[in-house]
Structure 1
Amino acid sequence: MESSIDIFTIGQIFTNWTWGEYAGLGLIFHIILMIVMTLRVVSVQRNIGVSIAWIAVLYTVPVFGLFAYILLGEPMIGRRYRERVDQASIMMNDMARREHLVFDKGQDLLPIKYRGVSQIGTRWTGLGVFPDHQMQLLTDPASIFQRLIEDIHAAQRIVFMEFYIVYPKGQVLDVIEALSVAAQRGVECHILADSVGSFSFINSSAHRKLEKAGVFVHQSLPVGLLKTLFKRSDLRNHRKMVVIDEYIGYIGSFNLVDPRFFKQNKNVGQWIDVAIRTTSQHSISINTAMAKAIVTDIGAENNENLDALNQRVNNYTRKLYVMDPTINDLNSRVKVLSDHIDYHEQPGIGSTSIVIPKMPVVDKVMAQLIPSAPQLTAHVIYNTLVTVIHRANKRIRITTPYFVPDESLSGALTIAAKRGVEVTIIVPEKVDSFLVQHASQAYYQELLDAGVTIALFRGGLLHAKTVVIDDDYCLFGTVNIDMRSFYLNMEVSLAIYTPEMVAQVADCQEIYLQSCRILGNEEWQQRHGSKRLFDNVVRLFSPLL
């Protein structure tokens, strides 16, 4: 009786409230919620720029910001996924120890000035420095597709592929055909494709053709309504790697797409990418490290894959990472492109076309693989990049399609320029993201004032991701200069320590510069104030792009 009276009394109180009193209660609830969310942001986020951006979103568009932060605010890759990664890593490391395969050594091979930099990668990834590779820089789609298809046709035992985008058009169909033929002759073939980036492939007839031929096709980080409640759907697998018979590998910015057919409606020209083809006769190399990473990524996707990996590891007979002992003449299969190809020419796109001379194979290359993933390897590539920028003495040259640094990275570049280092940033004049374009432009003025050269590439969407430091260090791989690559996506970079190979990447950058317009400081200062204001407003949210 008393409880019913209390409920009735409370109900009457709310019934007699005015709209103003309801609004006041809502305001109090809103303030409490904003305080709670602000405390959550500053306690969880370690990057100040990200914290400020999220707080700005929460206070300017509260309802949208609240739901956005719940779904996208924290880099949750998923508890079960992390557990499977840990289990797969334990399996691979136990097998390596059992077979005396040592992945975390080699720093003593480096010049003293780079040993500490290398240790950053080794600490978080367990991968050290590997010597004695043959590497060749491939600078256009024709050469990349040609070499890749040749290597697949020559494969004798296993092919691993991991790509963010597989787009089944043009020459990609030739790769799919080569994989199908290889699988039918008994080669074990695996493709790990990001479920969002490769959406068109996963729902295509090409996917069904591969599975029918016996190719194992795995979706990386699948999305769904229920999954979104427990992990971020925008954390993507942005890696691009291929390993064939464990002694041939490919790595770079090159997705499995034919640029003649990809995103032609974006009005930015064809995508321009690079890849490195690497070979090694050693049982431990960049290629075996890439295979280790791909196998771990496949095993982490679901329990069925993890069980299959466990069986493979238990039945291991030094065949998973060691080249097939029946292959006796490796050198006969490690060759440069046909002699009659003297130049790799991109189609005429944008206002210019570029012609890049064929790059020769470089022997005895020393390199280190640096994979990164949210909540798994900290910010290993970001920390490596900032460290080498601060150590540069003569030159820093960067090519990236998306340039949205944080304050620390932007500060490192401006400080380097002020202390006399030649700093050049090569970016496309137009990119396929409106917000990224304007967020990037917001950083130009402070860089120009410090003496940084900003070169706007006019020959298409320059998608290559390369960093050259002085004449003896290079980062080459999948990482854009933005917070998404550094903090959110699964990425991979190759740190190159051999000057001859670094010179090839630098030469390629030099040719890109010939198709660039150098942005002048005076020209940039004369922009209308409204444009500068808009860029700076977008910059507030740049850590979230």
Structure 2
Amino acid sequence: MLAFLSSNIWVILIAINYLLVILVAFTIVTKNINPTKTVSYIIVLVFFPFFGLIVYYLFGQEYRKNKIFNRKHILNQKVITDVSRRLEPNRQEMKDLKDDLLDDKIRLVKLLHSSENSPLTINNDITIIKNGENKFKLLLADLRKAKEHIHMEYYILRDDKIGTQIIDVLCEKAEAGVTVRLSIDDVGSSVSRKNKRRMIKSGVQWFSFMPVLFPGFTGKMNYRNHRKIVIIDGQIGYIGGINVSDTYVNYDNSEKYWRDTHLKIVGESVKSLQIHFLMNWEFVSNKKIEMEESFFPKGDCKECVAVQIAASGPDTDWANIMEVIFTAIVTAEKYVYLTTPYFIPNDQIITALQVASKSGVDVRLIIPKDSDSWTAKHATNSYIECLLEADIKIYRYCKGFIHAKTMVVDDVFATVGTTNMDYRSFNINFEINAIIYNENKTLELKSHFFEDLQESEAIDKERWLNRPQLEKLKESYCRLWAPLL
């Protein structure tokens, strides 16, 4: 018997693999998820023995439906209820905002308002930050002024030059009595044991989000916290695409120019950022956290920029950010200007962009010419032809790598945040965006878009259609993996 098993071990293992594949495939089909995603999973399971099962185990679980991220303890606390009630604009404020600006964009406000913790806030001051070197100059100055608490949540934090500067300040403030809470993603971040011990010794409270055994080998095949937010004393907030790493800073000796966008927020919407941070903190620390009034101090912001904070991920009932982007596109009347480093959208977004363009809306898209991912680059390229056929203008950024995640619509709506235009950001990762309803800020972001166009090349439709067949084959292959990227 043992001789038979040893001589036929691979046959037995393959048989077991495909028995499990049949069971998993049945489970996937009965879930009635997106057909493209269903087919992608089944292809991986059938053609990649063992590896396919690992991919599904790490990546295919529907955490949003399974509710493993429990946030009810925080949401049910009286302090959160009172904060949310105070943030609600009164009827006159809503009427003034609707009459002056929103028009039919009020649908966006209502869409987000129906989700948890996305109240429309009126009194905000927004600073649009272009590139990492400018962000960190402002952030370091604000961190040094912190008096009560510093809350940070990052997908990537590396203890290189800029990361060490940030860690130094966090340790200094913790030693001075400021409460410092830091959450970093275990796959995206890389901090030495020395600096981890130093933070603990200084009093910095830090946790890794969903720790993994071998982060260098897991890549993206699991649910990650892709957010990049900072809240200082409950009054200043940062949100956008810029992680804590030298890669995001354009030093004199940087190998590649990095173009990115971030926001500094002072005002009521910082309280929404605070709530989302605290929900994540309770998850990563595995401790019940009681809300304190000091987390939500009264502000004296006199600016009137209307903002909603939209968050999505396995802890939300709906794909909130994707729904907002979709609704903004289909309600656009003049233009939609999109910038994204990864364009691997779902069918809803593709259809929305096509319909908008064919209806006379000026739709333009900036993507990188040189991506940091071979698979993502070719998967993105596979979508270009159908957009060009709908007369959508597509540009490839040539100066370096464009990592900004922005959208501007009709001089009245804009969004800046962590969300890429891809399956992973829409459905898998924890993401967060600021939704801005303000003409001046929208026009500022619009001007940045046209500045980036000056560093970009337009894709010519005829030349693109005649690209080499080998390129088309690469695109088709990578597109099969699109729902899994």
- TM-score, length basis structure 2: 0.88
Offset of residue 368 of structure 1: 0.1
Offset of residue 131 of structure 1: 0.5
Q: Partner letter of residue 470 of structure 2?
A: S
Kindly indicate whether residue 283 of structure 2 is the aligned counterpart of residue 292 of structure 1.
no
Find the counterpart in structure 2 of residue 242 from structure 1.
230
Find the counterpart in structure 2 of residue 88 from structure 1.
74
Contact 2:397 2:457 in 1 (8 A): yes
Instruction: In structure 1, list runs of 5 or more residues that go unmatched.
Output: 1-10, 325-329, 332-361
Find the counterpart in structure 2 of residue 124 from structure 1.
115
Contact 2:25 2:42 in 1 (8 A): yes
Kindly indicate whether residue 204 of structure 2 is the aligned counterpart of residue 215 of structure 1.
yes
Query: Residue deviations 1:149-206, cap 9 Å, x none?
Result: 11112112111111111112223322222222222222211111111111x22x3433
Query: Residue deviations 1:41-88, cap 9 Å, x none?
Result: 1222522221121122223334432332233222337979523x2223
Find the counterpart in structure 2 of residue 319 from structure 1.
294
Offset of residue 90 of structure 1: 2.4
Q: Partner letter of residue 216 of structure 1?
A: Q
**1:70-149 matched pairs, under 5 angstroms:** 70-76=57-63, 81-83=68-70, 85-91=71-77, 94-97=78-81, 101-103=85-87, 109-110=97-98, 111-149=102-140
Kindly indicate whether residue 445 of structure 2 is the aligned counterpart of residue 459 of structure 1.
no
Partner Cα separation in structure 2 for residue 54 and residue 368 of structure 1: 35
SS at match of 1:494: strand
Find the counterpart in structure 2 of residue 39 from structure 1.
26
Partner Cα separation in structure 2 for residue 236 and residue 195 of structure 1: 8
SS at match of 2:304: strand
Greater mean deviation of Cα atoms: 73-82 or 43-52 = 73-82
Partner Cα separation in structure 2 for residue 78 and residue 186 of structure 1: 41
Contact 1:165 1:255 in 2 (8 A): yes
Percent identical: 26
Offset of residue 509 of structure 1: 1.1
**1:337-352 matched pairs, under 5 angstroms:** none
SS at match of 1:530: helix
Partner Cα separation in structure 1 for residue 124 and residue 130 of structure 2: 19
Q: Partner letter of residue 90 of structure 1?
A: N
Offset of residue 531 of structure 1: 1.5
Offset of residue 102 of structure 1: 3.6
**1:246-265 matched pairs, under 5 angstroms:** 246-259=234-247
Partner Cα separation in structure 1 for residue 127 and residue 30 of structure 2: 46
Find the counterpart in structure 2 of residue 527 from structure 1.
467
**1:377-388 matched pairs, under 5 angstroms:** 377-388=317-328
Offset of residue 376 of structure 1: 2.5
Partner Cα separation in structure 1 for residue 431 and residue 330 of structure 2: 22
Aligned counterpart for 2:173 among listed residues 182, 192, 199: 182
Query: Residue deviations 1:315-353, cap 9 Å, x none?
Result: x4x3221149xxxxx78xxxxxxxxxxxxxxxxxxxxxx
Runs of 4+ with deviation above 3 angstroms: 25-36, 75-81, 97-110
SS at match of 1:125: coil
Query: Residue deviations 1:233-275, cap 9 Å, x none?
Result: 610000111111111111111111223779x9xx982432211
Kindly indicate whether residue 64 of structure 2 is the aligned counterpart of residue 58 of structure 1.
no
Partner Cα separation in structure 2 for residue 528 and residue 477 of structure 1: 36
Query: Residue deviations 1:84-122, cap 9 Å, x none?
Result: x2223323xx22335784456676544341222222222
Aligned counterpart for 1:416 among listed residues 327, 335, 356: 356
Kindly indicate whether residue 305 of structure 2 is the aligned counterpart of residue 365 of structure 1.
yes
Greater C-alpha radius of gyration? 1
Find the counterpart in structure 2 of residue 206 from structure 1.
195
Find the counterpart in structure 1 of residue 452 from structure 2.
512
Partner Cα separation in structure 2 for residue 128 and residue 254 of structure 1: 25
Query: Residue deviations 1:459-482, cap 9 Å, x none?
Result: 111111001111111111000000
Greater mean deviation of Cα atoms: 209-218 or 444-453 = 209-218
Residues 1:114 and 1:79: Cα distance change in structure 2 (over 3 Å): same
- TM-score, length basis structure 1: 0.79
Find the counterpart in structure 2 of residue 391 from structure 1.
331
Partner Cα separation in structure 1 for residue 89 and residue 61 of structure 2: 34
